[in-house]
């Protein structure tokens, strides 16, 4: 039993313990869950410096020529990701003890969190695609359970269902991709796959298709366009859940998976193009939508989408060539760099918003808040740090990682750089809008007027995350996460000064615009209905589902009833009845008639026998 296995199984044990008995005591349930998260974090720390990649494996399923393993590897990006997951996970657990104190289903909530930690750790440590897929599905279900925590609300029930289904659509593609790779390479183990690919002799077209299909999984899990619709709705869940699952870790799993698959992206240029463009499109679209939302969590959700788009775009450059060498690992590292800095500041922002929502008695509309910097100074300070990091102000972490992502585009694709830079401007703008409306001015609602600073148990995680958001971008910090000896991260080749000027200038411009436009406003000054209504994408999907699924389903059901049941079955029943009617005619009820038939039959039998004998 290696440490890695211990880290994987502890949360599962905790979830099972809560399910099987501890649930009768909600307080104990919380302690069990928090305890397991804390232990996991402590166990994960020494793994940072360890250099053993494989951490044990066993055969999970073997039949015929098929053998699927549950194997763990703690190498490369998995180390950093493990630390992100366990650290943010622990902080969110602690925060939840305050946030969910009075919830009547606290035990179920913590069981869900533990289940999530188990599944997420599984994704991080998986050494093969099949195992990753297993835990991929499991994070889906823990996300379903946690989004639907308040299932008595129709909106929460619908949101959880939607999240699961949209993810399943992505997984549909993911599975096809896995199967294509398995069919052509004969293995799903990351190391072995990379080995087979380096030997050459693979079908390039097939690799492109496989990678596009696998990317579908990331599109679903990381909520990229066009499967982004579930993430904003997922904000129906408790806010700590949003911070952990729908900002810092689970939604980043798609990016993590892509980073692990960078060796396939490197040999699949068409697929790489798809990845880059989908990422850039998501970044832009989500940033646009974020500028018009009124719900604090929805703004953060769209911001998450947008940042995930950055990361996906970065990993998509893994196939690009620069200076005669493939960018490969550098692109994956840059994407991952942004992933983990984002994990810090976005978890910070979400937990901060959770504190605000909690203090305002579950008010989420930013236009009913205001002036909170006076009543909640600590929360406001940490929230502003998070905002600055997200907006990309130097020297906070977001600045370094965003630079690294955009440097890839700067070198390889000017169009995508333009999109990314504009998105950076929008990011600074909408975050400033949020802060100005929430923290400045005067309180506009009852909740905001009565707001008080939250308890220390909720503030402590904010401080830790704020510290992380400040320092995570410095080279010494990312050395821990990415591994200092590796390929490092991307830096712009040439035009460095211009590059930095553009980015810093855009961030400052965005902040200035947000501040000037939204200072002392009582309501949205520039309502753009199309953006506020999410460009009607949800409605369009609803129509598609109605038409293509429900209508087809209805038609299928009718066909089933009419044709197959009516014609075939009733038809055969009628046929049987008809034959029966014919035979009935012979039952004349006349004794002598029967005797006559009987005589005929005897004659017939005698005839048969005599002819047969002869």
Partner 1 sequence: MTLLLIIFLPIIAAAAIGLGAPARLAALLASGANLFLGLVVALVVALKGDGEMHFESARQLLDSPELTLGFGVDGISATLVLLTVIVTFCAVLVSPARVAGRGEGLYYISSLLIAAGALGAFCATDLFFFYAFHELALIPTFLMIGLHGHGRDRVATAWKITIYLGAGSLVLLAGLIALYASLSPAGGATFDIAKLTELAAGGEVEPGVQAWIFLVLLIGFGTLVSLFPFHSWAAPAYAAAPTPVAMLHAGVLKKFGLYGMMRVAFPMLPEGFREPLWAGGWTPEDILLVLLLGNILYVGLVTISQRYLDRMLGASSVMHMGYAFLGIACLNAAGWGGAVFMMFAHGISIALLFALCGALRGRLDTLEMSRLGGLGARVPVTATLFAFAAFASLGLPGFANFASEITIFFAAFEGALGGDAAGLGGLQVATVLALWGVVISAVYMLRAYRNIFQGELGGDRRPDEVSPLERGVAVLMIAVLLLTGFFPNLILNLVGPALGLPH
Partner 2 sequence: MPSLNEYLMVSGLLFAIGLAGVLFRRNIIVIFMCLEIMLSAANLSLVAFSRFSGQGGLPDYDAQVLVFFVITVAAAEVAVGLAIIVALFRARRTVHVEDLTSMRG
User: What is the x/- site pattern for partner 2, positions 554-593, by CB under 8 A?
Assistant: ------------------------------xxxxxxxxx-
For the chain, how big is the Rg over CA atoms in Å?
30
Q: Which does 194 bind (CB under 5 to 8 A by kind): partner 2, partner 1, none?
A: none
Handedness of CA 345, 346, 349, 355 (dihedral sign): negative
Both tokens of residue 327? Answer: 């960018």
Residue 598 Cβ vs partner 2, minimum distance, rounded to whole Å = 10
Task: Pick the closer one to partner 1 by CB: 559 or 600.
Answer: 559
In the complex, the residues that contact partner 1 under the rule CB under 8 A are: 59-66, 68, 130, 133-135, 137-138, 141, 148, 151-154, 157-158, 161, 164-165, 168-169, 171-172, 175-176, 179-180, 182-186, 203, 206, 549-550, 552-554, 556-557, 560-561, 564-565, 568-569, 572-573, 576
> Of these partners, partner 2, partner 1, none, which one is at the site of residue 148 (CB under 5 to 8 Å by kind)?
partner 1
| 351 preceded by a cis bond (ω within 30 of 0) | no
How is residue 525 annotated by DSSP? Answer: S
Residue list 426-465, contact with partner 2 (CB under 8 A): none
Tokens of 204: 């390039």
Of 205, 599, 604, 607, which lies in the binding site for partner 2, with binding defined by CB under 8 A?
599
DSSP H helices in 392-455? 397-412, 414-439, 446-449
Determine if 596 is a binding residue for partner 2 (CB under 8 A): yes
CB-wise, 154 or 590, nearer to partner 2?
590
Q: Output DSSP code: residue 587.
A: -
Taking CB under 8 A as the criterion, the residue among 595, 605, 608, 609 binding partner 2 is: 595
| Binding positions for partner 2, 134-173, rule CB under 8 A | none
Residue 202 Rama label (left phi>0; alpha psi -120 to 50; beta): beta
Q: Which does 134 bind (CB under 5 to 8 A by kind): partner 2, partner 1, none?
A: partner 1
* DSSP one-letter code for 454: P
Residue 45 touches which member of partner 1, partner 2, none, C-beta under 5-8 Å by kind? none
Q: How far is the CB of 553 from partner 2 (least distance, A)?
A: 45
| Residue 590 contacts which entry, partner 2, partner 1, none (Cβ below 5-8 A, type-dependent) | partner 2
Footprint of partner 2 on 94-133 (CB under 8 A) = none
Query: Closest Cα partner for 423 from 225, 246, 216?
Result: 225
Our CB check for partner 2 shows the closer of 556 and 588 to be 588
For residues 375-394, which are near partner 2 according to CB under 8 A?
none
How many binding residues for partner 2 (CB under 8 A)? 12
Q: What SS3 state is found at 60?
A: strand
* Residue whose CB is less far from partner 1, 186 or 475: 186
- Which residues in 151-220 belong to E strands, given as ranges? none
Return the number of the residue (485 or 589) whose C-beta is nearest partner 2: 589
In b/e form, how buried is each residue of 306-317, taking b as 16+ CB within 10 angstroms? bbbbbbbbbbbb
State the Cα–Cα distance between residues 606 and 347, nearest whole angstrom.
95
| Partner that binds at residue 599, options partner 1, partner 2, none, CB closer than 5 to 8 Å by kind | partner 2
Nearer to partner 1, 145 or 459 (CB): 145
Furthest CA-CA distance within the chain: 117
Nearest to 335 by CA among 259, 267, 262, 273: 259
Of residues 138 and 266, the one with the C-beta less far from partner 1: 138
Token pair of 413 as six digits: 């694709």
- Which of partner 2, partner 1, none does residue 588 bind to, with CB < 5 to 8 Å depending on kind? partner 2
**Minimum distance, C-beta of residue 569 to partner 2, in the bound complex (Å):** 25
- Min dist CB 405 to partner 1, Å, is 32
Q: Report angle CA 160, 164, 165 to the nearest 5 degrees.
A: 115
Number of other CB atoms surrounding residue 1 within 10 Å: 7
CB burial class (10 A; 0-12, 13-18, 19+) of residue 335? buried
Q: Among positive and negative, which fits the CA dihedral 329, 335, 338, 340? A: negative
Choice between 552 and 609, CB closer to partner 1 = 552
> What's the burial of 445, exposed, middle or buried (CB within 10 Å: 0-12/13-18/19+)?
middle
Residues near partner 2, by CB under 8 A: 584-592, 595-596, 599
């Amino acid at each position: 039993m290696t440490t890695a296995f211990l880290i994987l199984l502890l949360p599962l044990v905790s979830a099972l313990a809560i399910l099987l008995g501890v649930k009768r005591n909600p307080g104990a349930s919380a302690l069990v869950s928090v305890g397991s998260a804390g232990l996991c974090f402590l166990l994960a720390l020494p793994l940072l410096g360890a250099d053993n990649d494989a951490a044990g494996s066993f055969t999970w399923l073997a039949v015929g020529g098929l053998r699927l393993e549950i194997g763990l590897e703690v190498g490369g990006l998995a180390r950093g990701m493990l630390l992100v997951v366990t650290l943010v996970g622990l902080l969110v657990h602690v925060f939840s003890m305050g946030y969910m104190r009075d919830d009547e289903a606290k035990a179920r909530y913590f069981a869900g969190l533990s289940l999530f930690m188990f599944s997420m750790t599984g994704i991080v440590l998986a050494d093969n695609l099949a195992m990753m897929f297993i835990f991929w599905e499991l994070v889906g279900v823990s996300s379903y359970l946690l989004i639907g925590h308040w299932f008595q609300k129709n909106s929460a029930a619908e949101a959880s269902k939607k999240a699961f289904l949209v993810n399943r659509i992505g997984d549909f593609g993911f599975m096809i991709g896995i199967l294509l790779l398995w069919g052509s390479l004969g293995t799903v183990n990351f190391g072995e796959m990379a080995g087979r690919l380096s030997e050459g002799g693979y079908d390039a077209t097939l690799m492109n298709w496989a990678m596009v299909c696998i990317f579908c999984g990331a599109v679903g899990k990381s909520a990229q366009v066009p499967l982004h619709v579930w993430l904003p709705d997922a904000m129906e869940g408790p806010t700590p859940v949003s911070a952990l699952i729908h900002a810092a870790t689970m939604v980043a799993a798609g990016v993590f998976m892509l980073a692990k698959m960078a060796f396939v992206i490197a040999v699949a240029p068409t697929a790489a193009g798809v990845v880059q463009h989908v990422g850039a499109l998501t970044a832009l679209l989500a940033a646009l939508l974020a500028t018009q939302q009124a719900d604090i969590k929805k703004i953060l959700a769209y911001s998450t989408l947008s940042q995930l788009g950055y990361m996906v775009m970065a990993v998509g450059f893994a196939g690009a060539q620069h200076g005669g060498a493939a960018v490969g690992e550098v692109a994956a590292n840059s994407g991952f760099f942004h992933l983990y800095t984002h994990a810090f500041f976005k978890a910070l922002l979400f937990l901060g918003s959770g504190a605000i929502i909690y203090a305002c008695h579950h008010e989420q509309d930013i236009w009913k808040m205001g002036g909170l910097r006076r009543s909640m100074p600590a929360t406001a300070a940490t929230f502003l740090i998070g905002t600055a990091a997200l907006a990309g102000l130097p020297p906070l972490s977001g600045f370094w990682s965003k630079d690294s992502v955009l440097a890839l585009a700067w070198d390889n694709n000017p169009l995508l750089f333009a999109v990314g830079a504009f998105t950076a401007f929008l990011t600074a703008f909408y975050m400033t809008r949020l802060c100005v409306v929430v923290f400045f001015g005067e309180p506009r609602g009852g909740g905001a007027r009565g707001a008080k600073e939250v308890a220390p148990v909720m503030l402590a995680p904010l401080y830790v995350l704020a510290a992380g958001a400040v320092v995570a971008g410095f080279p010494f910090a990312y050395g821990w996460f990415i591994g200092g000896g590796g390929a490092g991260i991307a830096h712009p080749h040439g035009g460095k000064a211009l590059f930095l000027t553009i980015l810093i200038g855009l961030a400052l411009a965005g902040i200035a615009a947000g501040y000037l436009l939204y200072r002392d406003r009582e309501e949205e000054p520039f309502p753009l209905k199309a953006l506020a209504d999410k460009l009607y994408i949800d409605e369009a999907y609803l129509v598609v589902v109605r038409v293509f699924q429900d209508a087809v389903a209805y038609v299928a059901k009718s066909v089933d009833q009419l044709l197959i049941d009516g014609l075939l079955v009733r038809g055969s029943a009628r046929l049987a009845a008809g034959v029966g009617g014919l035979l009935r005619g012979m039952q004349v009820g006349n004794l002598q008639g029967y005797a006559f038939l009987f005589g005929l039959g005897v004659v017939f039998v005698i005839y048969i026998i005599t002819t047969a004998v002869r």
